[in-house]
Amino acid sequence: MKLTNYNSKANRDANIDNWLLSPFAGFPTLTRYLDPGYLSGPKPLVADVNEDAENFYASFEVPGVKKENVKVDLHNRLLTVNVEKKTRQGESESSYTLTRSISIPDSINADNISAKLEDGILVVTLPKAEESKPRSITLA
């Protein structure tokens, strides 16, 4: 005897209704962005790290933040960016702090690190130490 699942029309209709109400329920990363609370609350600091022959660059998106509300620290090969963001809704004002830390290599010249905030993008320039820069070797 062969067993098969029985799906009544009412059960199929309920499944379709549930899917129409929440079509992305099976995708947790999508539902996080579609949640209205996620869009209005604090978001993680978005960071990008790249390099050229002379420097490493760490870029952070901090839209609507003033210079005095940004703090950049380097401690034990850990670059930490703290951003205090203030929001105002009507008469009430709230603030929250966003933090992002990035591990950096030993080959950084820590004395010459610089940071610049422009158009909502914080760029931290981490110069490479002389011994870690690429060199050309001539053939004898």
Query: What is the predicted pLDDT for the residue at 15?
Result: 63
The string of pLDDT tens digits covering residues 96-116 is: 888 999 998 888 888 899 999
33: pLDDT strictly greater than 80: no
DSSP 104-117: --S-B-GGG-EEEE
Residues linked to residue 93 through DSSP beta bridges, in sequence order: 88
pLDDT (tens digit, 9 = 90+) per residue, 41-93?
A: 566 788 999 989 899 999 999 888 899 999 999 998 899 999 998 877 778 88
State the pTM of this model.
0.64
Q: Which domains, ranges and CATH numbers included, belong to the chain?
A: 9-41 (no CATH), 42-130 (2.60.40.790)
Q: 3-state DSSP: the chain helix, strand, coil percent, rounded to 5?
A: 25, 40, 35
Six token digits for residue 11: 């059960």
Q: For 38-42, 119-123, 136-140, which range has the lowest pLDDT when averaged over its residues?
A: 38-42
